[in-house]
Amino acid sequence: MAEGELVRFEKDGDIGIIIVDNPPVNALSPGVPQGIVDALDKGNADASVKAMVLIGAGRSFIAGADIRQFGKSSAPPPTRRHYDVMDQSPKPVVAAIHGYALGGGLETALACHYRVAVPSAKVGLPEVLIGILPGAGGTQRLPRLIGPKLALEMITSGRHVPAEEAHKLGIVDEIAPEGKLKETAVAFARKIADKKPLPVIRDSDGKLAEGTPELFDNMRKSIARRARNQRAPYACIEAVEAACKLPFDEGAALERKLFDEQVGSEEAKSLRYAFFAEREVNKIPFIPSDTKLRPTDNPAVVGAGTMGGGIAMSFADNGYDVKITDATPEALERGMARIKANYETSVKRGSLAQDEYERRFARIHPVPSFDDLSDCDVVIEAVFEQIPVKEEVWKKLDAVMPPGALLYTNTSGIDIDIIAEATSRPQDMAGTHFFAPANVMKLFEVVKGTKTENDVLATAMALGRKIGKVSGLAGNGDGFLANRSRAPFGMEVNLLIEEGALPEQIDKVMIDFGYPIGPLAVADLSGLDIGFDTRRRRAAMYPNYRKQPIADAIVEAGRLGQKTNAGWYKYEPGDRTPRPDPEVARIIKETAAANGIEQRSDITDDEILKRLLFASVNEACKILEEGCALRASDVDVMWLHGFGFPRYRGGLMYWADTIGVREVYNQIASWHQRYGDRWRPSNYLRQLAEAGTPLKEAKAQKAMP
């Protein structure tokens, strides 16, 4: 047996064992399918073998296809695909599943006659999440096995199904005790070795009658909102529908055709890009990969307000016991009541089971004093956004936290170094910036202070992932990375309104682009008074601050957003649908006139889209120039998980490349002529445009401060 063989064949008495050994996750890279075919041939030719087990070496079954191969011009498909060879195998084949059996991995397992799995294993067909559909029979075999309704749900959501659930659904035949997969699968193989006929999924059509035209029509309707502008989810439905209508081989041919059409589409390319960007974001070039992380087993949250409550929930939702405290018993009680109410809403909506809510809530431990935090190894502070308050809180925390404890602040904009210097150990401090609502939004922006130690940053990045977030690193510039790159977008929204665009026009453009909700409807949802107060404060601080008279006039008219049933839109009581309001149009017109702002009627949808997004592309280039972001793809990840940017457009910078770096630069330069300094092009952007370097390849131009 050659060293480094991707697939090995061994024997355990009368059972042949096919071991896929392609670290780290046994992806179906070139060579693996052929190796499986050869091993099957060996087992079938060996008279002493009665049945075979297919198993993965290391930590997983076959986790899936090798995504890096997608979209590359591939070699012609092999004449004998392992799926077909398994279907036709005269001896039974049992898939033994641990870790993951996703995509091509589950398709392989479905081509086996039986499936055994350990409880921690997960199966699924997540192809839709990268803009494609299962392309090796998954859409044909799964509906035959579990019925088209359940198959549609799994294939269009792409979700990972835990083994126990897969067992109930009929995907898995037997659950093996954890750690005893191989012996259980071998015993199972022995038990069924002589059973005839072999259960071959492609030959069974017992459940396909459930596939009525209404089932598919309803499915199309139910995904219409989340699948807007995308084709893959519909291709998944079309392929499952074909499974119900056509013989297996014809259905499989249609599946393959749809797969080939999708795999090179812009949608699939963007989603693959996002997938890899989310892996890249975890790499911090200046931190050695063997950096030892500090413990984060006993977290605490200080400040039980909107954010602190959500942060504590994020810990509890991910299995952590967490302490929480506030300045007064009343504030703490209010915070706990809000957490409880949030959980209860989820229970009422049906998204959280009562017993799971009780378990999670019981993990959040309110404590009366900072002294109770002395046994915690990490604290996240989320008190008022005021420097003196933060300084006072951190002085107290410095006195009680044990040496080496991780000191994290959720400030949205205060200089991390100022907060760090309030303690005697600035090296242990970093920003961990959550986005509201903190228990829902995935972005976890880690902010490096001047003195932050590498292990403090690396541990923050890892902690974010442990509580189900997507971590990304930012430098300690004004507004850090995410909000700073988003700020010009918000500014352009207001300026376009001054120039004569209506809220409903702007929101429609952004929804058509792919946002779940428009920026003005979002503002109404969050409350317009927050921005109003910030503008007041900034105007008092900076003499040249650009006022926003129309946004102010809306608030001054008592329109604070949804909470007053009026903001940029009007709302019927108890109904969150934003309705265009002639009163808003009147306020806009009159305020513009009173402030000598010239309005125009020729604002196009194209101008709106580009004004909002190009302004942010330009700012992102400035951030990279200053070294406050590591790479353009980190900006993209932050926009996907912090601001609802449509994933099938890759991200802000990736999307801008679809317009072209030169065109983006030229447009910004021409708006610089028209509007002045706020459109001053970033030098780095100019260099990229001159060199024709795609924006998605942009990188930090300096070491992170």
Ligand X SMILES: NC(=O)c1ccc[n+]([C@@H]2O[C@H](COP(=O)([O-])OP(=O)(O)OC[C@H]3O[C@@H](n4cnc5c(N)ncnc54)[C@H](O)[C@@H]3O)[C@@H](O)[C@H]2O)c1
Dihedrals phi, psi of 474, to nearest 5 degrees = -135, 155
Query: Binder to ligand X among 317, 385, 398, 417 (CB under 6 A)?
Result: 385
- Cα–Cα distance, 155 to 127 (Å, whole number): 8
Kindly report the number of other CB atoms within 10 A of residue 331's CB atom: 16
Query: Binder to ligand X among 118, 382, 523, 698 (CB under 6 A)?
Result: 382
* Residue entry with tokens 């139910």: 222
User: Residues 444, 560, 345, CA angle at the centre, nearest 5°?
Assistant: 55
In this chain, which stretch among 58-66, 103-111, 242-250, 380-388 interacts with ligand X, using CB under 6 A?
Answer: 380-388
- Cα–Cα distance, 188 to 177 (Å, whole number): 13
Burial per residue of 305-327, b for 16 or more beta-carbon CB atoms within 10 angstroms, e otherwise: bebbbbbbbbbbbeebebbbbbb
Q: Which is nearer to ligand X, 69 or 345 (CB)?
A: 345
Please report whether residue 439 would count as binding ligand X according to CB under 6 A: no
**Least distance CB 351 / ligand X (angstroms):** 22
**Least distance CB 195 / ligand X (angstroms):** 60
Site map 540..569 versus ligand X, x via CB under 6 A: ------------------------------
Give the residue from 374, 391, 390 showing the smallest Cα distance to 382: 390
Q: Which is nearer to ligand X, 121 or 307 (CB)?
A: 307
Q: Which is nearer to ligand X, 385 or 421 (CB)?
A: 385
Identify whether 366 is preceded by a cis peptide bond (ω within 30 of 0).
Answer: no
User: Residues 550, 555, 561, CA angle at the centre, nearest 5°?
Assistant: 115
- Binders in 279-318 for ligand X, by CB under 6 A: 302-308
Q: Which two tokens stand for residue 30?
A: 């070139």
Give the residue from 576, 528, 519, 572 showing the smallest Cα distance to 550: 528
Q: Which two tokens stand for residue 249?
A: 């081989």
Q: Which residues contact 142 (CB under 8 A, 6 or more apart)?
A: 106, 110, 125, 134, 151, 154, 155, 171, 240
In this chain, which stretch among 132-140, 378-386, 421-429, 469-477 interacts with ligand X, using CB under 6 A?
Answer: 378-386
Q: Is the dihedral of CA 75, 82, 267, 462 positive or negative?
A: negative
Query: Binder to ligand X among 6, 20, 166, 393 (CB under 6 A)?
Result: 393
Please report whether residue 331 would count as binding ligand X according to CB under 6 A: yes
Query: Binder to ligand X among 287, 327, 487, 525 (CB under 6 A)?
Result: 327
Q: Which is nearer to ligand X, 56 or 308 (CB)?
A: 308
Angle of helix 683-691 versus helix 605-625 axis, rounded to 10: 100
Active site residue 330: no
In this chain, which stretch among 167-175, 182-190, 388-396, 565-573 interacts with ligand X, using CB under 6 A?
Answer: 388-396
In this chain, which stretch among 137-145, 211-219, 323-331, 671-679 interacts with ligand X, using CB under 6 A?
Answer: 323-331
Please report whether residue 434 would count as binding ligand X according to CB under 6 A: yes
Query: Binder to ligand X among 175, 193, 215, 389 (CB under 6 A)?
Result: 389
**Least distance CB 638 / ligand X (angstroms):** 13
- Binders in 249-278 for ligand X, by CB under 6 A: none
Burial of 48 (0-12, 13-18, 19+ CB in 10 A): exposed
Active site residue 10: no
Identify whether 33 is preceded by a cis peptide bond (ω within 30 of 0).
Answer: no
**Least distance CB 438 / ligand X (angstroms):** 7
Give the residue from 107, 89, 85 showing the smallest Cα distance to 97: 107
Please report whether residue 394 would count as binding ligand X according to CB under 6 A: no
Q: Which is nearer to ligand X, 232 or 336 (CB)?
A: 336
Q: Which helix (H) or strand (E) holds 473?
A: strand 470-475
Query: Binder to ligand X among 436, 440, 593, 691 (CB under 6 A)?
Result: 436
Three-state SS at 121? coil
- Binders in 400-419 for ligand X, by CB under 6 A: 410-412
Q: Which is nearer to ligand X, 455 or 524 (CB)?
A: 524
In this chain, which stretch among 50-58, 237-245, 385-393, 690-698 interacts with ligand X, using CB under 6 A?
Answer: 385-393
Q: Which is nearer to ligand X, 262 or 412 (CB)?
A: 412
Identify whether 199 is preceded by a cis peptide bond (ω within 30 of 0).
Answer: no
Q: Which is nearer to ligand X, 175 or 331 (CB)?
A: 331
In this chain, which stretch among 115-123, 238-246, 376-384, 575-583 interacts with ligand X, using CB under 6 A?
Answer: 376-384
* Residue entry with tokens 């401090």: 429
Q: Which is nearer to ligand X, 639 or 671 (CB)?
A: 639
**Least distance CB 339 / ligand X (angstroms):** 12
**Least distance CB 380 / ligand X (angstroms):** 10
Query: Binder to ligand X among 326, 498, 552, 619 (CB under 6 A)?
Result: 326
Q: Which is nearer to ligand X, 269 or 484 (CB)?
A: 484
- Strand 443-448 relative to strand 429-434, pairing: antiparallel
Q: Which is nearer to ligand X, 478 or 590 (CB)?
A: 478
**Least distance CB 329 / ligand X (angstroms):** 11
Beta partners for 448?
A: 475
- Cα–Cα distance, 144 to 413 (Å, whole number): 54
- Cα–Cα distance, 340 to 702 (Å, whole number): 46
Three-state SS at 77? coil
Catalytic residue among 3, 10, 127, 392: 127
Dihedrals phi, psi of 581, to nearest 5 degrees = -125, 120
Query: Binder to ligand X among 203, 286, 321, 384 (CB under 6 A)?
Result: 384
Applying CB under 6 A, the site for ligand X has a residue count of 23
Order of strands across the sheet with 100-102?
100-102, 122-124, 161-162
In this chain, which stretch among 197-205, 232-240, 327-335, 442-450 interacts with ligand X, using CB under 6 A?
Answer: 327-335
Please report whether residue 173 would count as binding ligand X according to CB under 6 A: no
Q: Which two tokens stand for residue 494?
A: 């207001």
**Least distance CB 620 / ligand X (angstroms):** 20
**Least distance CB 341 / ligand X (angstroms):** 14
Please report whether residue 70 would count as binding ligand X according to CB under 6 A: no
**Least distance CB 556 / ligand X (angstroms):** 23
Radius of gyration of the chain (CA): 28
- Cα–Cα distance, 548 to 542 (Å, whole number): 14
DSSP letters, 542-611, are -TT----HHHHHHHHTT--BGGGTBSSSB--TT----B--HHHHHHHHHHHHHTT----S---HHHHHHH
Catalytic residue among 5, 107, 267, 391: 107
**Least distance CB 360 / ligand X (angstroms):** 20
Please report whether residue 383 would count as binding ligand X according to CB under 6 A: yes
Please report whether residue 335 would count as binding ligand X according to CB under 6 A: yes
Please report whether residue 446 would count as binding ligand X according to CB under 6 A: no
**Least distance CB 523 / ligand X (angstroms):** 13
In one letter, which amino acid is 623? Answer: I
Residue nearest to ligand X (CB): 305
Q: Which is nearer to ligand X, 177 or 413 (CB)?
A: 413
**Least distance CB 642 / ligand X (angstroms):** 10
Active site residues: 107, 127
Q: Which residues bind to ligand X, rule: CB under 6 A?
A: 302-308, 326-327, 331, 335, 382-385, 389, 392-393, 410-412, 434, 436
